[in-house]
C-alpha cells in the first residue's frame, strides 16, 4: 500500500496530463530572504528536499547557484528535468524518498531547504524521520530552512486514509480547477513545532510568521546543526 504522502505524485501526474504545472514558477520569497540572510555563496552546493516541479531550484540555478533537488514524486522530477532542458548544468534532480533513506547513503550539504514538505506529513513518526534525515544530511555547522503552512496557533490534520481521494482543487499556476488527489496536511502550533525540531537535534536560529501566494500563512524556521 502506498504511503499517504505519495498522493502528491498522483496530483502531479494529473496536472501534467492536463498540460499545466501545479505550482507557479515564482520562487519562494522566504527562500530568497534566507539566502540573503546568510549570504550563501554560489559555489556552495544547496539541496532542496521536496523540490516538487522545481520552481525554487530552477530559479536559483538560473541565478548561478549549484542546486540538487530531490523529491519522492517521479512525475515531479521528470517535470523538473524537462523544464531544466539540459541548459542548467549547475542543477540536478533525483527521485529520492528522504523518509526512508539509509543514513549511510545520505550526501552532506552545508545548506538545505524544504518548502511546503513537512506540513504534508501527518504521522509523528514520518515527521520525526523527515527532520532527522535533514539533520543527518547537514554538515556540522550547516544550516537548513523550513517553510510550512500554518499560523503557529491552529492545529489540525487531515485523514490520511483519504489522501488519494479525488477532489476538485484550484492549481496555483493558472487558477484552473482540476480533479486531483486530495493529499494530506497537518498544521501544529509553535510550541510543538519547536519541540519536534529540538528533538531532532537542531539549533533554532530564527522563527518567523509570513505569508506567500502559494501557501498563505506560513511558519518559517532557520535551523543549524551544531
What pLDDT shows up at residue 20?
87
Q: Which of 148, 160, 158 is nearest to 194 (CA)?
A: 148
Buried b (16+ CB within 10 A) or exposed e, 63-84: eebbbbbbbbbebbbbbbbebb
The pLDDT of residue 104 is above 60: no
The pLDDT of residue 81 is above 60: yes
What pLDDT shows up at residue 4?
95
CA 23 to chain centre: 12
Q: Which of 45-49, 98-102, 167-171 has the highest mean pLDDT?
A: 45-49
The rounded radius of gyration (Å) of the Cα atoms in the chain is 16
Q: Biggest alpha carbon distance in the chain?
A: 45
**Residue ranges of the domains in the chain?**
4-224
Q: What's the CATH code, domain 4-224?
A: 3.40.50.150
pLDDT in tens, 173-212: 677 788 999 999 999 999 999 999 999 999 999 999 999 9
Per-residue pLDDT band for 61 (boundaries 50, 70, 90) equals very high
What is the average pLDDT across 70-95? 92
What pLDDT shows up at residue 176?
77
The count of other CB atoms within 10 Å of the CB of residue 88 is 18
What pLDDT shows up at residue 202?
98
Indicate the average pLDDT of the chain: 93
pLDDT in tens, 3-14: 999 999 999 999
What is the average pLDDT across 159-175? 86
pLDDT in tens, 105-146: 678 999 999 999 999 999 999 999 999 999 999 999 999 999
What pLDDT shows up at residue 103?
60
What does pTM read for this prediction? 0.94
What is the average pLDDT across 20-25? 87
- Say which residues have a Cβ less than 8 Å from residue 36's Cβ, sequence separation at least 6: none
What pLDDT shows up at residue 2?
85
Amino acid at each position: 500500500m502506498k504511503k499517504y504522502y505519495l498522493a502528491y505524485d498522483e496530483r502531479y501526474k494529473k496536472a501534467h496530463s492536463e498540460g499545466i504545472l501545479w505550482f507557479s514558477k515564482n520562487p519562494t520569497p522566504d527562500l530568497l530572504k534566507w539566502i540573503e540572510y546568510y549570504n550563501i555563496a554560489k559555489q556552495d552546493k544547496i539541496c532542496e528536499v521536496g523540490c516538487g516541479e522545481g520552481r525554487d531550484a530552477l530559479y536559483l540555478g538560473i541565478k548561478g547557484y549549484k542546486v540538487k533537488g530531490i523529491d519522492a514524486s517521479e512525475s515531479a522530477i521528470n517535470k523538473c528535468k524537462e523544464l531544466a532542458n539540459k541548459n542548467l548544468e549547475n542543477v540536478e534532480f533525483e527521485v529520492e524518498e528522504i523518509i526512508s533513506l539509509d543514513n549511510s547513503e545520505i550526501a552532506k550539504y552545508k545548506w538545505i531547504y524544504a518548502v511546503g514538505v513537512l506540513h504534508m506529513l501527518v504521522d509523528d513518526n514520518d515527521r520525526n524521520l523527515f527532520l532527522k534525515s535533514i539533520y543527518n544530511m547537514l554538515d556540522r555547522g550547516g544550516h537548513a530552512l523550513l517553510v510550512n503552512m500554518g499560523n503557529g496557533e491552529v492545529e489540525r490534520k487531515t485523514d490520511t486514509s483519504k489522501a488519494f481521494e479525488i477532489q476538485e482543487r484550484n492549481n496555483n499556476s493558472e487558477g484552473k480547477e482540476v480533479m486531483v488527489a486530495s493529499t494530506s496536511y497537518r498544521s501544529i502550533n509553535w510550541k510543538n513545532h519547536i519541540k519536534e525540531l529540538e528533538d531532532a537535534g537542531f539549533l533554532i536560529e530564527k522563527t518567523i510568521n509570513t505569508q506567500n501566494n502559494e501557501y498563505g500563512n506560513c511558519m518559517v524556521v532557520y535551523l543549524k546543526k551544531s
